[in-house]
Copies of this chain bind each other. A is one copy, B any other.
């Protein structure tokens, strides 16, 4: 295989040149501002891409589910693995213990129950496991609700044998992060406990971290490939969007409608969550070759394309490339990705952590 245009469609395409530029941009930003950078592998799920990120100076990696971390550790990425997910359930404790035997591991959580489970895994493995307290600094997902709640859990972690309390973590970095982290650190300072890691995250605020402040480590996933949401929000320039899905026009039932062979089982149903205040965008991706075309809906295997604003219109058999709304959900639907440079395929790579939901 030499060209992406020879691949059967639909096919996930990853532009390695754009990927390199995205990795370099995040690296130089973090170097300039003195942040440690920790890529979140949920966006790409490929040890090959994690390897590029680590080679570019990442402090380690971040995983959401234990299953994702298992894949990365199996592939040799063992230096500094952060699992930003509460460990709950007996099976998870056993798997965390096995993981801790094989890598330098840190886990984030926001409850005494989840902390206790990390402690039990450390006992089982007879190794030390790092711990971060997850703080809700505005994201309203998980996280200690107040600095005193966060400090109490941090103190609990510091007193556990087998647990190395390493700091605080939040998602996303927001205007609330700095005051929350500062106040928590003060409370901990009074007890002579240090939060060495202050970890914030999220691609939307990645390049504004210095304005928001309060953190010394930045986690991001989507920055590596970008997607239509990050293009629209101005976080990643158009030429650096590395992810696309190649598709074929399989029908032209009317003058104004084309059907392409990628639907919600290929692109995901994720709509664009735009900036605060902007309305949600219910369209489903950008057709690069026909920029006036709009994907107005997705069946499972059909992309419904409205051509009414198009001066030139695609014919049955034409190849198009579609930029997905949300890279993470899209990548997770594919067994393989074609890694290419300027359209020349370098490698077809299995997306090894795809579907690792446990």
Interface residues of A (CB under 8 A from B): 8-11, 42, 64-65, 85-86, 88-89, 91-92, 110-111, 113-114, 136, 140-145, 248-254, 257, 259, 261-262, 264-266, 268-271, 299-302, 304, 316-317, 328-329, 332-335, 355, 357-358
**Chain B residues whose CB sits within 8 angstroms of the CB of A89 once the complex forms:** 8-9, 248, 317
- In the assembled complex, the Cα of A136 lies from the Cα of B304 at a distance in Å of 14
Please tell me which one of the listed residues B110, B257, B269 contacts residue A329 in the complex, with CB atoms under 8 A apart.
Answer: B269
On whether the beta carbons of B91 and A8 are closer than 8 Å, the reply is: yes
- In the assembled complex, the Cα of A253 lies from the Cα of B134 at a distance in Å of 10
A299: nearest chain-B partner, CB-CB? B141
Indicate whether A253 sits within 8 Å of B300 (C-beta atoms), given known contacts A88-B248, A113-B317.
no
Copy total for this chain: 2
- In the assembled complex, the Cα of A111 lies from the Cα of B357 at a distance in Å of 41
A8: nearest chain-B partner, CB-CB? B91
**Chain B residues whose CB sits within 8 angstroms of the CB of A111 once the complex forms:** 251-252, 316
- In the assembled complex, the Cα of A141 lies from the Cα of B144 at a distance in Å of 48
On whether the beta carbons of A264 and B329 are closer than 8 Å, the reply is: yes
**Chain B residues whose CB sits within 8 angstroms of the CB of A265 once the complex forms:** 328-329, 332, 355, 357
**Chain B residues whose CB sits within 8 angstroms of the CB of A249 once the complex forms:** 88
Indicate whether A10 sits within 8 Å of B358 (C-beta atoms), given known contacts A141-B304, A329-B265.
yes
On whether the beta carbons of A358 and B8 are closer than 8 Å, the reply is: yes
